[in-house]
Amino acid sequence: MYPCSYYREKSIKVTFEEIYSKLYSEFGPQGWWPAESSFEVIVGAILTQSVNWTNVEKAIANLKEYNKGLTGKAEVNLELLEGLEEEKLAWLIRPSGYYNMKARKLKAFSHFLRGEYEGSLRKMFGERLEVLRAKLLAVYGIGPETADSILLYAGGYPIFVIDAYTKRLYSRCGLIEEDMDYHQLQQLVMKNFPPQVECYNEYHALIVALGKYYCRKTAPRCEKCPLSS
């Protein structure tokens, strides 16, 4: 006979996969992260802290427009961040909120990339996952969620991003306690869902979509939720 833990683990695995399947059927492919380059993904991951994506898009548009005036290229790159005074950078990213702090964070990352990898994302993403993750977490302003977003969406590493939407969904489904630790939840998901970059990418984006339209923090639309059954 199998121990009870075997059946529980098997049930949790099925549940994680079933949630993914139902969300995919409801929302379809999300095409996330919306960006024109890996560097833009990183900038977006830092700017999106504590603000909605619409405001991040406005901040990135400001950076692109400013760079276009300087170089003729409407893009966000390392040279732009390095060349901007922190005060000017903060002014350009005002729509993202907490702009002074975020300007400092962007500067910190640009210094890290230049100093550690000679400004090369190719070299940075040539690091082993656990090594690069530890280094990113040591950079000012980069916590676990931001680091994992950079690793998954910009670097193509198989690591699952945990955010407020993820905790809310799984706790409301009765799979976890609401105050479960970030890394514990991350390991739980990664243990019970195929470790594929494309799947982790899509799954996280689908959970965000569910959180925005149905599983909202206040006034959730449980009766219409695709997971209600």
* Span 167-179, pLDDT tens digits: 999 999 888 998 9
Domain stop point among 154, 177, 195: 154
* Alpha carbon distance 21, 63 (integer Å): 37
42 and 148 within one domain: yes
* Alpha carbon distance 84, 66 (integer Å): 10
169 and 139 within one domain: no
What residue numbers bound the domain in which 9 lies? 4-30+162-224
CATH code at position 147: 1.10.340.30
142-190 pLDDT per residue, tens? 999 999 999 999 999 999 999 999 999 999 988 899 899 999 999 999 9
42 and 26 within one domain: no
0.85 surpassed by pTM: yes
149 and 43 within one domain: yes
Is the separation of the CB atoms in 205 and 30 below 8 Å?
yes
Closest alpha carbon to 15 in 168, 176, 159, 163: 176
Q: How high is the pLDDT of residue 13?
A: 76
Domain stop point among 114, 133, 154: 154
Q: How high is the pLDDT of residue 1?
A: 38
Positions of the chain with pLDDT under 50: 1-8
* Alpha carbon distance 199, 99 (integer Å): 33
DSSP string, 65-94: HHHHHHHS-----HHHHHHS-HHHHHHHTG
Q: How high is the pLDDT of residue 2?
A: 32
Q: How many domains does the chain have?
A: 2
Asked, for residue 229, whether it belongs to a domain, the answer is no
